[in-house]
Amino acid sequence: MRVLGIETSCDETGVAIFDSKEGLLAHALHSQVELHASYGGVVPELASRDHVRKVLPLIQQLFHDAGVEASSLDGVAYTAGPGLVGALLVGASVGRSLAWSWGIPAVGVHHMEGHLLAPMLENEPPPFPFVAMLVSGGHTQLVEVARFGHYQLLGESLDDAAGEAFDKTAKLLGLPYPGGPELAKLAEQGDPSRYRFPRPMTNRPGLDFSFSGLKTFALNTLQEAEKQEGGVISQQTRADIARAFEEAVVDTLLIKCRRAVRQTNIKTLVLAGGVSANRRLRQRIDEMMNKEGGAAYYPRPEFCTDNGAMIAYAGCQRLLAGEAEALRFSVQPRWPMDALVIDD
Ligand code: KG4
Ligand code: ZN
Cα separation, 193 vs 203, in Å, equals: 21
Same domain, 153 and 288: yes
Same domain, 221 and 244: yes
325 within domain boundaries: yes
6 within domain boundaries: yes
Cα separation, 113 vs 4, in Å, equals: 16
In the chain, which residues have pLDDT < 70?
Answer: 344
Q: What value, to the nearest 5°, has the Cα angle with vertex 41 and ends 175 and 284?
A: 55
Same domain, 86 and 68: yes
329 within domain boundaries: yes
Span from the CA of 167 to the centroid of ligand 1 (angstroms) = 8
Q: Which residues pair with 7 in a beta bridge?
A: 14
Span from the CA of 242 to the centroid of ligand 2 (angstroms) = 23
Q: What pLDDT, on the 0 to 100 scale, is given for residue 329? A: 86
Of ligand 1's listed atoms, the one at least distance from the Cα of 163 is 12
283 within domain boundaries: yes
263 within domain boundaries: yes
C-alpha closest to that of 329 among 96, 172, 99, 6: 96
Same domain, 265 and 310: no
Look up the pTM and report it: 0.94
Q: What pLDDT, on the 0 to 100 scale, is given for residue 337? A: 87
What residues does ligand 1 touch, defined as CB less than 6 Å away?
10, 136-138, 163, 166-167, 178-181, 184, 273-275, 277-278, 305-306
Q: What pLDDT, on the 0 to 100 scale, is given for residue 338? A: 80
Q: What pLDDT, on the 0 to 100 scale, is given for residue 253? A: 98
Same domain, 42 and 92: yes
CATH number, domain with residue 49 = 3.30.420.40
**For residue range 250-272, what is the model confidence (pLDDT) as tens digits?**
999 999 999 999 999 999 999 99
Span from the CA of 91 to the centroid of ligand 1 (angstroms) = 21
Same domain, 170 and 261: yes
- Domains contained in the chain, number: 2
Same domain, 244 and 95: no
Same domain, 281 and 193: yes
Of ligand 1's listed atoms, the one at least distance from the Cα of 167 is 14
C-alpha closest to that of 272 among 91, 130, 105: 130
Same domain, 268 and 217: yes
Q: What pLDDT, on the 0 to 100 scale, is given for residue 326? A: 87
**For residue range 169-197, what is the model confidence (pLDDT) as tens digits?**
999 999 998 899 999 999 999 999 999 99
Q: What pLDDT, on the 0 to 100 scale, is given for residue 340? A: 86
The runs of H, that is alpha helices, within the chain are 33-37, 44-66, 85-102, 111-117, 162-172, 179-187, 212-228, 235-264, 279-291, 309-320
Which one of the ligands is nearest to 299 CA? 1
186 within domain boundaries: yes
| Structural domain of 26 | 2-117+303-339
